[in-house]
Amino acid sequence: SMGRQAELDLIVVGGGIVGLSTAVAAQDRGLAVLCFEAARPGAGQSAGRTRIFRHRHERPELVELAVRARREWERWEMRLGHRLVGDEGALMAGPDLEDHAHRFEAADVEYAEVDPSAQRRALPILASLGETALLDPKGGAIRIRDAVEALVGWLGERLVLAEVLGLEQADGGLEVHTSEGIWRARRTVVCAGSGTDRLARPLGLELPVRHGCQLRATFGVREGLAGERLACLLDRRDTAASGVYASQCEGRPCYTVGLHSSEVDLPDGTAPIPPAESLSPTVERTSRYVAENLPGLHPEPVELRLCRTTKLPWGNDAFAAWRQGPVTVFAGNNVFKFAPVIGPLLVDSAVSDDVAPELAVPAEVPA
């Protein structure tokens, strides 16, 4: 039934990792909050088996934010009673290691230079990354299903399975129209992933979001290595391919590998993702990378996953929030690792009159 409900302090649209983190942060501050999820929590860009937590970023501000995020992950771990970010570390190779080392030093991030034998100790399935690589010992694979499940548990009945159809300004607040009825809230945060720009447009916000999708292939670990701890891998040696990202899966002897160059652009968040056949060249390239560089894996993938992505034009790890009246909208890429800090910052942005500085569009890029 389409009943009207009492006014809430905050409505969060989207139950991906960012929306869940935002709703939990609001709940922790004693706000009357509901989080609406159209499909299943963690079904969108937050889906899959693994994500990388890393300190490596091009912008010094993001290295610092990663340090804060790591602490917030630890707070979630304390509350939950077990680990969410693994202690495998993250191995980095590429032409820009010196710059990264400087940024780590500036932000007081622990790191180590590792030779091929130390590289293989961190990642026993590896051939070699060459003479020098860097290890980020506080990097690791995020247990993403565990994390989503924990947040869903903390929210309880404040998570509502309903699709938000539109947001309408009403005197002093906002009406949120959903498939399960209409709710009123003083403030709303939209973190609906690939659905965010569509919800923001009728409010007069044209977001610079670019849509795409990305392939991740999962490979089985060879017998004999199956019990080993596997560091995450950030390999940027082949600058033409612009990077390989890989990490171990939650609870199974598998390793998921993605080539940055496997990304395909899409015109918008509803455009169909490409058919499986069109992906075979990318799958082959990924298998070839594995055969050459990760001999401890079987080079035939055991699982392929195509995920939607949203990106902002000023960088691979870019994200931002915008305010329009009572509505705050969020968009970004590669933000799983930052989710425990982004949630509280989105609550700050929603309840005050300005976007938190950490979430503002950086000054040096066109708005």
- The residue type at 339: A
| CB 66, min distance to ligand FAD, A | 10
| CB 336, min distance to ligand FAD, A | 3
Q: Is 296 in the site for ligand FAD (CB under 6 A)?
A: no
Strands of the chain, DSSP E: 8-13, 33-37, 51-53, 90-93, 112-114, 133-136, 140-142, 159-161, 164-170, 173-178, 181-190, 210-221, 232-235, 244-248, 254-259, 264-266, 297-311, 319-324, 327-332
Q: Which of 218, 248, 262, 333 binds ligand FAD (CB under 6 A)?
A: 333
Q: CA angle at residue 98 from 96 to 100, to 5 degrees?
A: 75
Q: Is 160 in the site for ligand FAD (CB under 6 A)?
A: no
| CB 131, min distance to ligand FAD, A | 26
Strand-pairing partners, residue 362, are none
Residue nearest to ligand FAD (CB): 16
User: Could you tell me which stretch among 11-19, 63-71, 130-138, 287-295 binds ligand FAD (CB under 6 A)?
Assistant: 11-19
| CB 223, min distance to ligand FAD, A | 27
Q: CA angle at residue 216 from 149 to 96, to 5 degrees?
A: 105
CB 8 within 8 A of CB 32: yes
Strand-pairing partners, residue 93, are 235
Q: Which of 49, 51, 211, 311 binds ligand FAD (CB under 6 A)?
A: 51
Query: Nearer to ligand FAD by C-beta: 177 or 252?
Result: 177
Q: Is 344 in the site for ligand FAD (CB under 6 A)?
A: no
| CB 294, min distance to ligand FAD, A | 17
Q: Is 214 in the site for ligand FAD (CB under 6 A)?
A: yes
| CB 350, min distance to ligand FAD, A | 15
Cα-flanking dihedrals φ and ψ of residue 69, to 5°? -65, -40
Q: Is 334 in the site for ligand FAD (CB under 6 A)?
A: yes
DSSP label at 6? P
The alpha-helical segments, DSSP class H, found in the chain are 17-28, 60-80, 97-106, 116-122, 144-155, 196-200, 280-293, 339-351
| CB 38, min distance to ligand FAD, A | 3
Q: Which of 37, 88, 136, 197 binds ligand FAD (CB under 6 A)?
A: 37
| CB 257, min distance to ligand FAD, A | 10
Region for 204 from its dihedrals, namely left if φ exceeds 0, alpha if ψ lies in -120 to 50, beta otherwise:
left
How far lies 343's CA from each of 25, 74, 126, 269, in Å? 6, 15, 36, 23
Q: Which of 163, 180, 228, 238 binds ligand FAD (CB under 6 A)?
A: 163
Q: CA angle at residue 112 from 111 to 118, to 5 degrees?
A: 140
Structure tokens at 218: 């999962």
CB 326 within 8 A of CB 186: yes
Contact string (CB under 6 A) for ligand FAD, positions 297-326, x = contact = ----------x-x-----------------
CB 214 within 8 A of CB 263: yes
User: Could you tell me which stretch among 8-16, 26-34, 101-109, 167-175 binds ligand FAD (CB under 6 A)?
Assistant: 8-16
Q: Which of 193, 296, 301, 344 binds ligand FAD (CB under 6 A)?
A: 193
| CB 115, min distance to ligand FAD, A | 26
- Per CB under 6 A, residues contacting ligand FAD are 13-19, 36-39, 43-46, 48, 51-52, 163-164, 191-193, 195, 199, 214, 216, 245, 258, 307, 309, 333-337
